[in-house]
A = this chain, B = another copy of it.
Amino acid sequence: MWGKRGDMVVHTREPFNAEPPRCALAGRPITAVDTFYSRNHGPIPEVDEGLWRLEVDGLVRRPLRLSLDRLRDGFERREVTATLQCAGNRRAGLLEVRDIPGQEPWGPGATSTARWSGVRLADVLAEAGLLPQAAFVAFTAPDVSEDADPPQPFGGSIPVAKALADEVLLAWAMNDRPLPRVHGGPLRVVVPGWIGARSVKWLQRITARAEPSRNYFQAVAYRLLPPDADPAQVRPGDGVPLGPVALNCDILWPDGAAPVPAGPVEVTGYALAGDDRAVTRLDVSLDDGRTWAQAELDAPEGPWTWQHWRITVDLPPGETVVTARAWDSTAALQPESPASLWNPLGYVNNAWARLRLAGLA
């Protein structure tokens, strides 16, 4: 489906929601397009690239209406390698604590990395001329979502400071090929270090605003609610809006799908610190956290990507739970337990990663 590999874990076909299995991400700093996770809230729109125009409006001096050729010819071409992570990544771990009706049980595969090419959002905003009152930049897509109440196109916003940052692109290419329709072609925003929901696909309109977007996916969804909140009663503005990605990690290989021979086993995975932070240490334990060994962290592809890690452990025969935990550049550690993190919409499970492995004697 949608050009994805056959072993994708498809959570829903319509809207299309699918993630690669752990093994498909393991050991690959860049995720192939056919492997990159896909998270949608509505049907994937078919945009006629020739007729398509990008509107830039709101608190700007000169509203713009730009064709793809105009974007390509009028602005400096830029490239950024960036990891995108869905705020629902690893929700499966929260579902083990308590049910979350109506939300897909994403594993650790709602995290992928690509090389994005396009132009700086900042350069386009400079051409439009941001007014001093502009504090947020909102994005709108044409994909009407029935998940929203009332149904509406997908949208969201980021603060002006992030919108003007060097790394935020309007991208028309992914891994050096034209951006495929399933990933937002002809044009999407890429907001490195922020939750995937802010990297709006099929971008149609950029609006400079004094306030955050009122779109359902900014004002109501993608917010951390307290555990006792009733998601059916949420009002716009409740909870904590999600933006920069939280420190997180998971184990990719062995993937727990089949037993592996006991003895020395190389365990690998990814860790991601979010926004402008870095992963500084990754610990692995085979005894539920009583003792830890430090994994080797691979150099990242750039400042906006995950870091893969690897460690050789002596896997005993029988069942072993492998635990992994990451530390960031403030020496902050991930929280221990998904039970502490459970929230009614099931976002931001960044508890220590745990995976059950079977060692063959």
A interface residue numbers (CB < 8 A to B): 224, 226-228, 240, 242-247, 274-277, 280-281, 283, 289, 291-292, 294, 325, 327, 329-337, 340-341, 347-348, 350
Contacts and interface: CB of A to CB of B under 8 A. Distances in A.
A224 B227 CA distance: 33
Contact of A240 (B243, B280, B341, B347): B280
Copies in the complex: 2
A333 B329 CA distance: 16
A347 B331 contact: yes
Nearest to A347: B331
A341 B325 CA distance: 12
25 contacts: A224-B280, A226-B294, A228-B291, A240-B329, A242-B330, A242-B331, A243-B329, A243-B330, A244-B277, A245-B330, A246-B330, A247-B330, A275-B330, A276-B276, A330-B348, A331-B348, A332-B332, A332-B334, A332-B348, A332-B350, A333-B335, A333-B340, A334-B335, A336-B336, A336-B340
Contacts of A333: 335, 340-341
A106 B67 CA distance: 61
Contacts of A327: 224, 240
Given A240-B281, A337-B336, A340-B289, A224 B348 contact: no
Contacts of A335: 332-336
A274 B275 CA distance: 14
Query: Shortest 5 CB-CB distances between A and B: which pairs?
Result: A246-B332, A246-B330, A240-B280, A331-B348, A224-B331
A221 B111 CA distance: 36
Contacts of A245: 330
Contacts of A325: 340
